[in-house]
Amino acid sequence: MAHSPLLSKLTQSSESYAAAFDAMEEWIVIVDDQARILFMNRPYAQFIGINRDDVVGKKVTDVIENTRMHLAVETGKPERTSLQEIRGNHMIANRYPIMVDGKVVGAVGTVLFHDTHEWKQINSQIRALIAERDFYRQQQDDDKVSTSGAHFRLNDIIGRSPSIYALNEKVKKVASGDVSVLIRGESGTGKELYAHAIHQLSERAEGPFIKVNCAAIPENLLEAELFGYEDGAFTGARKGGKPGKFQLANNGTLFLDEVGDMPLAMQAKLLRVLQDREVEAVGATRLIPVNIRLVAATHQPLEDLIAKGEFREDLYYRINVVPLNLPPLRERREDIPALTDHFLSRLARRTGRRTPKLTAQALTALLEYRWPGNIRELENVLEATFYMSQGRKISLPALPEHIAGARAQDVDTGGTLKERLASAERVILREALATCGDNRLRTAKYLGISKSTLYEKLARFGL
Ligand SMILES: Nc1ncnc2c1ncn2[C@@H]1O[C@H](COP(=O)(O)OP(=O)(O)OP(=O)(O)O)[C@@H](O)[C@H]1O
């Protein structure tokens, strides 16, 4: 083997070098001027799952997935903090050409790797960055369906309000790892969207994402739906049996939507499966091991259901390891303009029309409405309005009566100048409060008045 003699001598001459490199957490590989492996430290070889003595002299490209070490040798240019995927994990790699007398005689590569816990967190953050990159690449393709069944990523979630920002940071932290997450929030606040995003950011992203809506399945079918059934388990059962959602979600994420609607008898069975990590299909005699991550969602306060004896407390503790509370839309009105833009431009793209703009009055009406149906309701309202209005502007009368109507009588049109000014001032204050998510300090800043002036005006107008 014609290795670069100098480098060969350097790496082989001293066993203590090898011992030192083996002691490091970073992974090291050294190649010669033909990009053949001269040395690989033990942690690297262990991760790849090879015997390092077997790969000495082999082309690095035949041994390490997605490597660019050969390019460092060819170009003589270092590459720092480049992203490399090995066995489904994202690594940060540095590659440095080794120069002797102005000539490239090989290259040394390191891969940053810390303790697994820290790595998992970093990996999750990298996944978030990759998701962001992919989002921009595929922006025009909103309807894409991922093979795993999870369609949404964190970047598909629109919103920059402080509450959403904090929530997203929490999601990035907890997505990696297998802790059970309970997503709570009113109907239409985006609970399912977050369940998808958690899956996409987790190490299970390549695995299946399986959803079960506990409220939508009749009680007598739920057990078979969750755990599957064997051939001939009951009258009407499909020939050959059917796998349950637990089996389908193996090595992936199981999303139990409306978990508060699960009947008590099923709750007991669910708890047993979560504890034993084994399921028994209906009519089966054997247990099948399953490896799932559980994400559950509820719009009902489970604590109240526990008090009424309708939800098991032990199951509650099992599924509520990390709670995520999704705020209702009325508590994050700052996100309404961005959500509105998002939904209108998506409709425009789908229909080939230009994106219409809301007039200031129409936007204010949306900002002030209470949105009992949250984002789903906003989406539906905008869709109906989009199809009803042909022009490039959506004005107040185009909005549904119950939203526009409240606005139309806002400013008094009769009375003295003083009375009309007061009426207008009241409207301005209400709009400003809505825009600033009811935060008084921000509202005062927004209007350019002191906090005490704002308080005095709010009291005067009974706001
Ligand atoms: N932040 C967001 N950005 C963009 N779209 C959103 C956002 N939140 C929710 N949506 C959209 O709103 C609709 C409702 O969201 P989703 O189904 O996730 O809510 P949910 O809380 O699970 O509702 P339910 O409790 O009724 O099942 C979906 O069409 C979703 O795409």
Q: Does 202 have pLDDT greater than 50?
A: yes
In which band, very low, low, confident or very high, does the pLDDT at 104 lie, cut at 50, 70 and 90? very high
pLDDT at residue 146 in the model: 41
Ligand 1 is surrounded, with C-beta below 6 A, by 157-159, 185, 187-193, 257, 299, 339, 342, 375-376, 379
pLDDT at residue 294 in the model: 96
b/e sequence 424-449, b meaning 16+ C-beta within 10 Å: eebbebbbbbbbbbeeeebbbeebee
Q: Does 35 have pLDDT greater than 80?
A: yes
The Å distance, Cα 188 to ligand 1 centre, comes to: 5
Q: Does 356 have pLDDT greater than 50?
A: yes
pLDDT at residue 144 in the model: 36
Neighbours of 3 (CB within 10 A): 21
Higher pLDDT, 22 or 86: 22
pLDDT at residue 9 in the model: 61
Nearest CA to ligand 1 atom 12: 376
pLDDT at residue 463 in the model: 77
Domains of the chain: 5-113 (3.30.450.20), 120-327 (3.40.50.300), 330-409 (1.10.8.60), 419-460 (1.10.10)
Strands 393-394 and 357-358, bridge-based pairing: parallel
Nearest CA to ligand 1 atom 26: 187
The Å distance, Cα 255 to ligand 1 centre, comes to: 15
Instruction: Return the ligand 1 atom nearest residue 192 CA.
Output: 18
Q: Which of 193, 350, 371 has most ligand 1 atoms within 8 Å of CB, for mutation? A: 193
Instruction: Return the ligand 1 atom nearest residue 335 CA.
Output: 1
- Model confidence over 57-89: pLDDT tens digits? 999 999 998 889 999 999 999 988 777 777 666
In which band, very low, low, confident or very high, does the pLDDT at 133 lie, cut at 50, 70 and 90? low
Mapped onto helix, strand or coil, the DSSP state of residue 108 is: strand
Q: Does 223 have pLDDT greater than 50?
A: yes
- Model confidence over 169-188: pLDDT tens digits? 999 999 988 999 999 999 99
pLDDT at residue 114 in the model: 46
The Å distance, Cα 193 to ligand 1 centre, comes to: 6
Q: Does 328 have pLDDT greater than 90?
A: yes
Average pLDDT, integer, range 304-331: 95
Q: Does 129 have pLDDT greater than 90?
A: no
Average pLDDT, integer, range 285-313: 94
Strand partners, 27: 111
Strand partners, 298: 184
The Å distance, Cα 90 to ligand 1 centre, comes to: 30
In which band, very low, low, confident or very high, does the pLDDT at 460 lie, cut at 50, 70 and 90? confident
Residue 303 has what DSSP assignment?
H
Cα gap 14→2, rounded to integer Å = 20
Average pLDDT, integer, range 350-368: 88
pLDDT at residue 140 in the model: 40
Higher pLDDT, 225 or 218: 225
In which band, very low, low, confident or very high, does the pLDDT at 92 lie, cut at 50, 70 and 90? confident
